[in-house]
A and B are shown apart, each in its own frame.
Chain A
Amino acid sequence: MGEYGAKDARWISMAGMTPVILTGALFVYFCGMVPTIASGGIIRHSIPWIPSLDIALSFYIDGLSLMFSLLITGIGALVMLYSARYLAGHPQFARFALYLFSFMLSMLGLVLADNVLALFVFWELTTFTSYLLIGFSHADPKSRRNALQALLLTAAGGLALLAGFILLGFATGTYELSEINAAGSLASNPLYGPILVLVLLGAFTKSAQVPFHFWLPNAMAAPTPVSAYLHSATMVKGGIYLLARMHPSLSGTDAWIWTLTIFGGVTAVFASLMALRQTDLKQTLAYTTLMALGTLTMFLAGSSGYAITGAMAFLFVHSLYKAALFLSVGIIDHATGTREAGVLGGLAGAMPVTAAAAGLAALSMAGIPPFLGFIAKEVAYSGAVGASLWGFVVLAALAANALMFAVAGIVAFKPFFGPQGKLPHAPHEGPWPMLAGPVILGVLGLAFGILHGLAASWVIEPATNAVLGFTDSGGRVKLWAGFNLALGLSVVTFILGAILYLRHQALRDRLAAIEARGPDFDAGWDRLMAWLVVVAEWQTRLIQTGVLRQYLFATFAVTAVALALPLFWLGALQLDLAMPSVTLREGVVAALIIAGALLAATTGSRITGIAALGVVGIGVALIFIIYGAPDVAITQLLVEMLIVVLIAIAALRMPYLDPTDKGPAFRPRDAALGGVLGVLVALVMLMVTAGPIDRRLTDFFEAASWTEAFGRNIVNVILVDFRTLDTFGEIAVVIVAALGAFALLRSARRDKGEERE
């Protein structure tokens, strides 16, 4: 990041400041709603969107959406301020600011939408905008690949989610989340199973639960402010938000409890081990985010007040400290040119403010009293003890928290106080726009810990009530809850964490060895992509042969099937054939057409073919004459003559129909298809002509031809009066065809001229 954000770079610009101000204003706006929501109120706005489908663009603000909105706008404003300085002088900074701001708005829409289809649209918008953000360094192939991976994985989950939402609409008869949740549990609905699977697929891909976790660490290819934003309060919390939002209608069943507990628990433990294994500070943080997502999922499995309060408190505090830590790592990277845990150390002297901010955030993350992180952990432990699968949940939570304690040390203690390695740049303190974020967020973690009553009544308890679907007793968020099991677990966490921190370098090598033997999801993804490309190539070669005959064959075959299906399968075929009485005149005409058509199909001679076509044309003209259509017959004859003349001019300059002397080869496959299609068309025509006819239009033309248009030849009146525009179009077609033909012939002449020169 050396070339941008230099000390003297100009960082105050329209593009940089506008989003900060707008987002800050939104934050203030949402702050204004806190009293209403905290006292149990709900704000709902609805505007018609697709009235014909009864879909409204409705927004719904309760405790849960408000907490998310505050985090999204509050952290968003700080991150935008930070990026203005971080990327100052970047040639594409304006683009970046636009992406980030669009992402912020999509995320806001996601958490505020009441209509599930609107929620889905915002969900996909966050996917697309995050794709742009992750792939912002688009010159780097790795960055592009990782962005695409995030896009494909979360968009695929999004499609599953859409299917789940549509089923939800079928099951409940409404697309409004507030109404769906008000209707209570869906557990007895026959569609519950499919809905649960599809919604969880969406939530798990977005929130990177194992085995969909691998896109999240890869998404670290993004500039650090993006990681700070996407992986603290926003993008990845989208899935958690969904789980929380659907909690009243989907939770409480064995399927819900088991799935969320196991996926969440496995993700949490796996991710904290992986976090310990990383040497890049940003990667370490990425895995702790994964760990937080796993823990949140695990606690959302439960329905007790403690479990949900724990989840909401943890969600809130995690957003604060994780954003602060990411931003601090960005400052370290910016100042020293490296994020390697091995070389960073002793920076506290050169970067005191960063050290303090990161320290505050890390203490909250480690769960030290009196930080909010401690309280969140205590409440969560109390929830874990009361969980359905309490043994598993307590162990997973304990392991994750202890590992997190160790990681907090690695990220925020060692770089500032440990031994210093060889750094690419001499460290210097970050500029104030970059420090503002970590400092404010770090201090908030402490402030809310001390003033925990405020945090509880303003944010955490309203959110808990929204998730539970009823008003909880509250009062669980407190600094001192007495000597209880949770406190004991905390003490065990600290001891374990301290041991892990002291031995983390040895552990890291051990973990790396284990990781090397385990399944590589990322490589699996690459294989899947390569396989997709192979399948695409295979089917393209199969379908796109570049041979005209094969395309035509497919088209005719599909037509034949489309005709045959309703006739035979759906039983539309009804034939009541009387032996037709054919007069001699009709018999002769029919014989002419039959002979002409067969001859044209089988002849190997151009002259015979042209003559045979002429015979067919004249036969058709005779039919027109016999059955009262003299105008049509005249046109047909004229056109027929023109065709013969044209073919005679052009075709005789072209080679023989068959290159060899053997004559035309019979093509049984084509003949079979032709025969089948011919029989089908004949059957349809027999049915059509045997059925009733709607003569309303004809009656109108017969009555109006003289009385309104003053013409006695009804056909002519239709063409030049009632349907003039059609005739005009017809003339246009002929002119365009003539112009096209003329241009083609002229270009041929020019080619020849060039050849002569």
Chain B
Amino acid sequence: MNRPKVQKYVKPKHIDDYPVGPQFTAGFLAETNAGWRTFRPIIDKNLCINCLRCYIVCPDGVIFKSENKVDVDYDYCKGCGVCAHECPVNAIKMVKEELL
């Protein structure tokens, strides 16, 4: 998985610990977006034909290539359902989080 990972943000204790000027480390992720999700996309790897349509249309980029198939990074998936709707073989199902 070639993407930034969640890091622990240490709150500055002293004014000297703050970054100088309005700048901060690129790609620093302090929290996940998983709590936004109502429906979770579940990929049926037997049906997946690895066309990478979901990988290209995911607005959050949470779908990644793995072992000639695709997988989802559930830390950042917001559950919009674009992947399931665009999948040409209906290999992705949207399942309500409470039911899992």
Do A and B originate from a single complex?
Answer: no
